[in-house]
A and B are shown apart, each in its own frame.
Chain A
C-alpha cells in the first residue's frame, strides 16, 4: 500500500467501498435473473420413440413464454390484482395525503397521538395483519358481523365473492397508510412557511393553500409513494395466502406470484415458473419506468 502514490490509493478506495454491494447485487439479483432467463428457455420434452421414450431437459426457446402468455389463469391473476390495486392504491395514497395535510394543518388537535396511532400498522407484518383482519372478517369471530347480527341485519360477507376484493385491499390500506403519511408529512414540513404567508396575504383559504400550494409541492413524495404502492401491489403474495384458509374465494393461483409459486413447487415446473417470474419482473420494471416518465421523472430524475 505504502508504495502506491496517494492519487492511486484514492482511486482504488471507491471500488473497495462498492465491492460488497456489487458482489451481492450480482450474486443475488443479477445472476438469479440471468439463471431464470436461461431456465425459462428450457423444458422437459419427450425424446425417443414409443415406450422407450424418455423425458429430457432440452432447449425449447420461447415455448414457456408463449405458454405463460396464453395461459388464461395467469392473466386472470393479473385481472384480480388490477381490481385489488384499483381499490387499495388510490385509497392508501388518498388517505395518507389527507392525514398528512391534517397533521400539517395548524388547527388540528391530537396530532402526536394520531401520527403515532396511524403509523403503528407499519410495525405489523403483512401476514400478521392478514391474520388479524382475517379473524375480524370471519363470521364466527368478527366484531362487525356480531354487531350486525345483533341488529338483525345478518353477517357481513367480508370473505364472500363480492367482499373479498375490498376486504383484502383494506388490509393493504391499513398497513400502508401510516408509512406513506409520514413520507408525505415530512415532505410537507420541508416547505418554507413564507410560501403560505404569501398565499394568505393574497386571501387564499386553508383549503386553497392545501390544494394549490401544498399538494403541488409534495408531488415528488406522492410519485414516490405511488410508485412503491404500485410495486408493492404487483408483488402481493402473503396477504391472500394467509387469508386463503378462511375462505373458498381465494384460489391457489389468485395473484401472479401465487401462480408462479404453484408452478414451481406444486407442479414442479421450474422452467415455466422462471418464464413467469421474468415476465413479472420485466412487467414491473416497465410499469415503474412508465409511471416515472408520465410524472416527468419527478421522483428520481432530480437526483442525476
Chain B
C-alpha cells in the first residue's frame, strides 16, 4: 500500500464514522428543533407555513399557555417537580439503605429478598398500575398526591443498582475498622457507607427522577382533578381536547416545548455525575 493510499484510508476511517454519528445527532435533535420552531407560530401559521420557518406568535402562545385554565400549566410543572424530586429523593435513600444492607450484611431472608427484588425488576410497575389503583382506592387515597407518590417510592431496579454500587465502593475493611473504633452500624452507614455510595446514588436519583417525570399511566389512572396532574397527563388532556380546536394544538405544542427545555438542561448539567460505568462493570460480575 502506497503512502498516499494509506492516508486516504485513514481519512476514510475518520469521515464515515463521523458522518454516521452526525446523522444520528440530527435524527435526535430534529423533533426538539421542530417543537421549538413550532412554538413560535400562531395557530394560523402552524398549518400554513413551512414547518421549519419561525413564526410570529411566540409571545401570544406563551401567554395562552400560562393563562390556560387559570395557570394550570404552571401547576402541572410544579406537580411534576414535586412528584419527581420528592419521589426520587425518598426512593434513592430507601434504595441505598436496602442495597447497602443486601451487599454488606449476611442476614436471614437475604436471598429471598434478592429474588423478590429481581422479580420486581422484571415485572414492570406499569402492568401493576390497575392493581395499585385498586389498593389505593381501598385505602381511600385515589385522587390525591400520595396515590402517585407512594408507588414511585419503591424501585426494585434502584435497589438492585444500590447493591451493585455498595459492593463496588464500600470496602469491608473500612467498615471493620470503624467497628473496632466503636462506631454503631447506623453511624457506619451514615458517615462511611453512604458518602462512598454518593456517585451511585446520584445515578439512581437521576434514573428515578426521569422515570417519575416521564410516567404517564400511573398518574393518568390515579388522578381525576386537573390541578393535581403532572405535565405528561396535563398535555395529553390538552391534546385530546384539541381535536376540534386548533388553538389547543398550539397550547400543546408550546407546552411541550417549554417542558422539554428544563429537563434537557438538568440532564446535560448533571451528565458528568452519571455513573453507568459501575452498572455495566457490576454486570460483568
Residues of A within 8 A of B (CB): 9-11, 13-18, 20-22, 24-25, 27-33, 35-36, 39, 95, 98-99, 102-103, 105, 107-111, 113-114, 116-129, 131-133, 135-136, 140-143, 146, 174, 177-178, 182-184, 186-187, 189-190, 206, 218, 220-221, 224, 227, 231-232, 234-235, 237-238, 241-242, 244-245, 257, 260-261, 264-265, 270, 273-274, 277, 280-281, 284-285, 288-289, 298-303
Among A117, A127, A285, contact of B236 (Cβ-Cβ < 8 Å) = A127
CA gap between A143 and B122 in the complex, in Å = 39
List the B side residues contacting A299 at CB < 8 Å.
283
With contacts A127-B236, A136-B31 taken as known, whether A146 is within 8 angstroms of B134 at the C-beta atoms is no
With contacts A186-B276, A303-B282 taken as known, whether A120 is within 8 angstroms of B113 at the C-beta atoms is no
Is B213 interfacial (CB-CB < 8 Å)? yes
CA gap between A81 and B240 in the complex, in Å = 23
List the A side residues contacting B221 at CB < 8 Å.
261, 265
List the B side residues contacting A32 at CB < 8 Å.
128, 131-132, 134-135
CA gap between A244 and B243 in the complex, in Å = 10
Q: Are B113 and A22 in contact (CB under 8 A)?
A: yes
A-B contacts, 27 listed (Cβ < 8 Å): A13-B105, A18-B113, A24-B154, A25-B120, A29-B120, A35-B138, A36-B131, A99-B24, A102-B17, A107-B13, A117-B25, A117-B29, A119-B271, A125-B216, A127-B216, A128-B232, A131-B235, A132-B31, A141-B38, A141-B46, A143-B51, A146-B51, A183-B279, A190-B281, A245-B239, A281-B127, A300-B283
Q: Are A174 and B38 in contact (CB under 8 A)?
A: no
With contacts A118-B24, A257-B217 taken as known, whether A127 is within 8 angstroms of B277 at the C-beta atoms is no
- The 4 A-B pairs with the shortest beta carbon distances in the complex, nearest first, are A302-B285, A32-B131, A13-B185, A17-B101
List the B side residues contacting A288 at CB < 8 Å.
122
Q: Are A14 and B107 in contact (CB under 8 A)?
A: yes
Q: Are A143 and B24 in contact (CB under 8 A)?
A: no
Q: Are A18 and B21 in contact (CB under 8 A)?
A: no
CA gap between A254 and B144 in the complex, in Å = 29
List the A side residues contacting B260 at CB < 8 Å.
123-124, 128
CA gap between A36 and B129 in the complex, in Å = 11
Q: Which of B60-68, B70-78, B91-99 is the contact stretch?
A: B91-99
With contacts A102-B20, A186-B276 taken as known, whether A289 is within 8 angstroms of B122 at the C-beta atoms is yes
Is B126 interfacial (CB-CB < 8 Å)? yes
Question: Known pairs A17-B98, A120-B264. 12 more at Cβ < 8 A?
Answer: A21-B97, A21-B154, A25-B117, A36-B134, A99-B24, A107-B14, A110-B25, A128-B235, A141-B38, A189-B277, A190-B280, A285-B119
Is B59 interfacial (CB-CB < 8 Å)? no
Q: How many residues of B contact A (CB 8 A)?
A: 105
CA gap between A245 and B97 in the complex, in Å = 44
How far does the Cβ of A219 sit from chain B's closest Cβ, in whole Å? 10
List the B side residues contacting A189 at CB < 8 Å.
277
- Number of A-B contacts defined by CB within 8 Å: 312
List the A side residues contacting B153 at CB < 8 Å.
24, 28
B201-217 interface mask toward A, CB cutoff 8 Å, 1 = contact, 0 = none? 00000000010011011
List the B side residues contacting A131 at CB < 8 Å.
235, 239, 252-253, 256
How far does the Cβ of A59 sit from chain B's closest Cβ, in whole Å? 17
CA gap between A141 and B242 in the complex, in Å = 14
List the A side residues contacting B128 at CB < 8 Å.
28-29, 32-33, 36, 277, 281
CA gap between A9 and B123 in the complex, in Å = 35
CA gap between A273 and B131 in the complex, in Å = 9
Is B165 interfacial (CB-CB < 8 Å)? no
With contacts A131-B256, A277-B130, A300-B118 taken as known, whether A9 is within 8 angstroms of B17 at the C-beta atoms is no
Q: Which residue of B lies closest to A121 (CB)?
A: B28
Q: Are A132 and B50 in contact (CB under 8 A)?
A: no
With contacts A14-B101, A281-B123 taken as known, whether A261 is within 8 angstroms of B130 at the C-beta atoms is yes
